[in-house]
Structure 1
């Protein structure tokens, strides 16, 4: 066989292989272009070259010719999320945190059955948490803190049996803490800080035995701390300040050896490490850390 012909064939196959790797359907590519246009892609910190293969686009993860990950953390996205996002049927990870995305989270997002992680924190999102969020059976984390979202926490969240992280702090959410959250047996972190939540803490939260962080400070919660909190043996961080609780007496039932507690006596907060077995306390400091790009 002619050597030149052989080299031509090899070169052709190499180009063909490069084209196939990372190739996605025209439907999925159209969704990505929708997102690019809807969030002012020409002004992104790192832009997509729409004339090049999708595999070269920042933050797009492709497996088996399908988009499984989209990570545009801190990339100056400004605009709204397209309704067509639900067409990324294989999407598992969505990280658009620390941008300027406004408008509502499309209800269509609840059709992404493979979705595992959603990070939309530090944006300008309004509207409500999608009522059918519980349809995302594979969801492990949903982080929406520091937005402008309102409405109540959907009861359907209680259907997310794989959920480990639920953080909707620093929004404008109202209503009560749903009892249904107590069925999230794998939950490790629950952040409801700085909203307009009212009513009593559900005793069902005492069922969250894997919980390590419970942050419900800066709301309008009232009544007593449930005695069922004594079951939270893995809890390390508990923030309760700036609510309307009658007392913190039930904290004495807690079995954790060392726990970070934010108390509030109506005058000033105190942040302490409390050894609940020996009643020793020591002052501790905390600081806010920005989410990092995954």
Structure 2
């Protein structure tokens, strides 16, 4: 009889764990996202009567929401402030939708985020000043929106960042020196904004950088001689700016670039072993792979 009770007790525990749910706070935040982005018109809708773990694009581990992937799902409207209550979130991918309004400051509360993808939406306003609170972030992609203002100085706090793509917005101001502290950075896209001033010399510290796309801005001055330290660089696009001289490009690594685009008016530059026959225009949008 005692053995039977033990079996029943274990069965009860398993039953309870199978219906375990995320916290009320997290569920409320998800429902807020659903309603504020016109969930009834999503391509793949949520049935709010079912467990959260069954909702499209939501991943739950240990009763905590750790991922939201609603890529190309016809989200329309603004992101709610209480999205900041999803404190365990590691991936937030809302790319290729029609999200409008400004980024809520509360998004900086998502301190466990590793991936934040908001590209190809209609988001306006400034990047939150406290974006640097996202110290675990490895990828930040918000290209092709309507973001304005300057790149926040706090961006330099995100030391683990590998991909930063702010291309095709309406950002202004200078490239902050703090950005040059992101020594794990492999991809930096600032293409097609209104960024001005000189490129910081400290950008030479980005030794792991493979893609650097600064084209179509208002950058001026000389190309830093420190560019010669960017030994990992494979893609460099700096055309359509207002640089005074490209002379320091001669100091770049003597090997074949995949992409090497600059304003070629200065014919006196002597490049060493760059094979210009292999260069091509980079995909400056860095678009996601099309998902089913």
Question: What SS does structure 1 have at the residue aligned with 2:179?
Answer: helix
Cα contact 1:257–1:276 (8 A) shared by 2? no
* Residues 287 and 162 of structure 1: CA distance in aligned 2, closer, same or farther (over 3 Å): closer
Aligned to 1:264: 263
Report the Cα offset of residue 18 of structure 1.
Answer: 2.7
Question: What SS does structure 2 have at the residue aligned with 1:127?
Answer: strand
Cα distance in 1 for partners of 2:102, 2:197 equals: 26
Aligned to 1:282: 277
Aligned to 2:19: 19
Question: What SS does structure 2 have at the residue aligned with 1:181?
Answer: helix
5+ residue gaps, structure 2: 2-6
Aligned to 1:97: 95
Report the Cα offset of residue 10 of structure 1.
Answer: 9.2
Cα contact 2:145–2:169 (8 A) shared by 1? yes
Cα contact 1:73–1:96 (8 A) shared by 2? yes
For residue 134 of structure 2, the aligned residue among 114, 133, 136 is 136
Aligned to 2:4: none
Aligned to 1:198: 196
Is 1:291 paired with 2:257? Answer: no
For residue 36 of structure 2, the aligned residue among 35, 38, 42 is 38
Query: Normalised by the size of structure 2, how large is the TM-score?
Result: 0.90
Matches within 5 A, 1:1-294: 15-20=15-20, 23-255=21-253, 257-259=255-257, 260-265=259-264, 277-286=272-281, 288=283, 290-292=287-289, 293=291
* Residues 256 and 186 of structure 1: CA distance in aligned 2, closer, same or farther (over 3 Å): farther
For 1:27-71, what per-residue CA distance to the aligned partner results, in whole angstroms no more than 9, with x for missing partners? 110100000000000000000000111111011011110001110
Cα distance in 2 for partners of 1:256, 1:93 equals: 38
Question: What SS does structure 2 have at the residue aligned with 1:110?
Answer: helix
Cα distance in 2 for partners of 1:45, 1:11 equals: 38
Report the Cα offset of residue 8 of structure 1.
Answer: 9.7
RMSD: 2.4
Query: Normalised by the size of structure 1, how large is the TM-score?
Result: 0.89
For 1:139-184, what per-residue CA distance to the aligned partner results, in whole angstroms no more than 9, with x for missing partners? 1110000000000000110111111111000000000111111111
Cα distance in 1 for partners of 2:97, 2:24 equals: 27
* Residues 155 and 10 of structure 1: CA distance in aligned 2, closer, same or farther (over 3 Å): closer
For 1:200-230, what per-residue CA distance to the aligned partner results, in whole angstroms no more than 9, with x for missing partners? 1111111100100000000011111000000
Cα contact 1:233–1:256 (8 A) shared by 2? no
Cα distance in 2 for partners of 1:147, 1:129 equals: 11
Cα distance in 1 for partners of 2:90, 2:272 equals: 43
Question: What SS does structure 2 have at the residue aligned with 1:81?
Answer: coil
Q: How many residues align?
A: 282
